[in-house]
């Protein structure tokens, strides 16, 4: 059964035309005029939904072209109690972008929900986790009556990515649970789970179009061969030339924040891609084609986007995992830059430099 990360309408404020109008259609006047802010301290709630296919639809009836989706358990959304079995619908969608950004790469799609065709809207899900206190400009209306896959975005490698292991570099698609991956902080760590899914890069899923990082595009010799990442995969930045952004510490930046560096490009010709994720006992910095990047982090949002089978597999390996992921699994391996911070990284400077690089296990393997 899918798990949705739902934001309540009551946890937002807006200026400009009302983006949540009565009825089942979006407000065209909101495009370019409305600013939506997620209230400070607000977040999403994870809600279990029963559905017979893999899409969140607008039609609450079960027939050959659509399927019923309904709440699995009693749930409170937007301050209203709903019984188990109450249908929910995906009525319309907006494309939003953080205030201060003019880069389409920062676009986020939100899908607005109601219960059983009733109005007003009760909440929304999004293609990326939103930041509490952040304001977002509505830049467009995606579609009315959308159908969108439950499987959305999480940290992913392309299938031929080479992951450093104690026995050398191995393709991520060849790794299995029980294998070992080399980490920057904690040596060789056991792979608990490998996730793999094919993504069709059309419609609402175009934001998942992979990025190609050519050899040497991030630093001399890094990556050591062309690297394919999903746009939201975090890469570690370790460069004193970017201290004004990083505060002088190693940090994570989303791959899309590095997309305007020389030679980096979106793979717009791809119609589909199989993305892979690597789960370790804790969040780690691992090496992908020589680039320090993240392993899978099972946050409530990431877990809500997995298929039921994937979620069961992860929970079987992490039986103590809870919504307090930092307490039950551990914190992020590095501080995470916001999208706006990431765009301030100097494009013409290596994102990895300094004497610490000499101790990275990728270099010792390459020189062996």
pLDDT at 216: 87
Query: Is residue 265 over pLDDT 70?
Result: yes
Query: Is residue 155 over pLDDT 70?
Result: no
pLDDT (tens digit, 9 = 90+) per residue, 38-81?
A: 998 887 777 777 765 545 554 433 222 334 677 888 888 878 88
pLDDT at 9: 92
pLDDT at 301: 74
Bigger pLDDT: 53 vs 347: 347
DSSP 152-187: -----B-TTPEEEETTEEEEGGG--TT-EEEETTTE
340-360 average pLDDT score: 65
Q: Which of 9-13, 166-170, 186-190 has the lowest mean pLDDT?
A: 166-170
pLDDT at 163: 93
Nearest CA-CA partner of 32 in 89, 99, 112? 99
pLDDT at 15: 96
pLDDT (tens digit, 9 = 90+) per residue, 118-145?
A: 667 888 988 777 888 999 999 988 655 5
Separation between Cα atoms, residue 19 and residue 200, nearest integer Å: 29
The proportion of the chain whose per-residue pLDDT surpasses 70, expressed as a percent, equals 80
Of the segments 38-42, 81-85, 191-195, 201-205, which one has the largest average pLDDT value? Answer: 191-195
Q: Which long-range contacts (CB under 8 A, 24 or more apart) does 15-24 make?
A: 16/138, 19/94, 19/138, 20/112, 20/120, 20/121, 21/120, 22/119, 22/120, 23/119, 24/58, 24/89, 24/91, 24/92, 24/114, 24/117, 24/119, 24/144, 24/145
Q: Report residue 148's pLDDT band, with 50, 70 and 90 as the boundaries.
A: low
DSSP 8-class letter at 329? T
Q: Which of 5-14, 169-178, 249-258, 326-335 has the lowest mean pLDDT?
A: 249-258
The proportion of the chain whose per-residue pLDDT surpasses 90, expressed as a percent, equals 27
Q: Which residues contact 341 (CB under 8 A, 6 or more apart)?
A: 245, 253, 257
79-88 average pLDDT score: 84
Q: Report residue 113's pLDDT band, with 50, 70 and 90 as the boundaries.
A: confident
Separation between Cα atoms, residue 70 and residue 55, nearest integer Å: 12
Separation between Cα atoms, residue 69 and residue 89, nearest integer Å: 8
- Tell me the pairing of strands 335-336 and 251-254: parallel
Separation between Cα atoms, residue 94 and residue 230, nearest integer Å: 22
Q: Which of 163-177, 216-230, 256-270 has the lowest mean pLDDT?
A: 256-270
pLDDT at 354: 56
pTM of the predicted structure, to 2 decimals: 0.63
Query: Is residue 205 over pLDDT 70?
Result: no
Using alpha carbons, list the distances in angstroms from residue 291 to 32, 34, 126, 162: 38, 39, 29, 10
Per domain, the residue ranges of the chain are 3-149, 162-364
Maximum distance among all Cα pairs of the chain, rounded to whole angstroms: 66
pLDDT (tens digit, 9 = 90+) per residue, 284-331?
A: 999 999 899 999 999 877 887 777 778 889 999 999 998 788 899 999
3-state secondary structure labels for all residues of 178-214: CCEEEECCCEEEECCEEEEEEEECCHHHHHHCCEEEC
Average pLDDT score over the chain: 80
């Amino acid at each position: 059964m899918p798990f949705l990360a739902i934001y309540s309408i009551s946890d937002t404020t807006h200026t400009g035309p009302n983006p949540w109008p009565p009825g089942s259609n979006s407000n065209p006047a909101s495009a370019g005029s409305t600013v939506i802010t997620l209230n400070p301290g607000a977040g999403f709630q994870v809600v279990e939904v029963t559905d017979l296919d893999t899409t969140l639809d607008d039609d609450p009836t079960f027939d050959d072209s659509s399927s019923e989706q309904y709440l699995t358990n009693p749930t409170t959304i937007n301050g209203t109690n709903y019984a188990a079995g109450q249908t929910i619908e995906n009525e319309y969608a907006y494309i939003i972008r953080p205030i201060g950004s003019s880069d389409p790469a920062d676009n986020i799609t939100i899908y607005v929900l109601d219960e059983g065709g009733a109005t007003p809207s009760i909440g929304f899900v999004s293609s990326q986790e939103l930041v509490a206190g952040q304001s977002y400009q509505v830049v467009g209306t995606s579609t009315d009556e959308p159908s969108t896959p439950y499987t959305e975005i999480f940290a992913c490698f392309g299938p031929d990515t080479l992951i450093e292991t104690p026995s050398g570099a191995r393709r991520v698609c060849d790794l299995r649970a029980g294998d070992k991956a080399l980490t920057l902080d904690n040596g060789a760590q056991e792979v608990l789970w490998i996730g793999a899914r094919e993504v069709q890069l059309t419609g609402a899923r175009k934001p998942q179009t992979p990025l190609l990082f050519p050899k040497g595009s991030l630093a001399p010799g890094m990556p050591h061969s062309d690297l394919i990442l999903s746009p939201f995969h975090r890469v570690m930045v370790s460069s004193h030339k970017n201290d004004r952004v990083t505060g002088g510490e190693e940090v994570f930046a989303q791959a899309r924040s590095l997309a305007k560096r020389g030679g980096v490009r979106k793979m717009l010709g791809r119609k589909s891609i199989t993305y892979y994720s690597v789960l370790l006992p804790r969040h780690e910095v691992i090496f992908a084609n020589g680039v320090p990047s993240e392993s899978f982090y099972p946050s409530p949002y990431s877990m809500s986007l997995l298929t039921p089978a994937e979620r069961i597999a992860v929970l079987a390996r992490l039986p103590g995992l809870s919504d307090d992921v930092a307490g039950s699994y551990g914190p992020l391996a590095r501080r995470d830059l916001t999208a706006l911070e990431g765009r301030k990284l100097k494009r013409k400077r290596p994102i990895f430099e300094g004497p610490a690089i000499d101790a990275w296990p990728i270099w010792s393997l390459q020189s062996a």
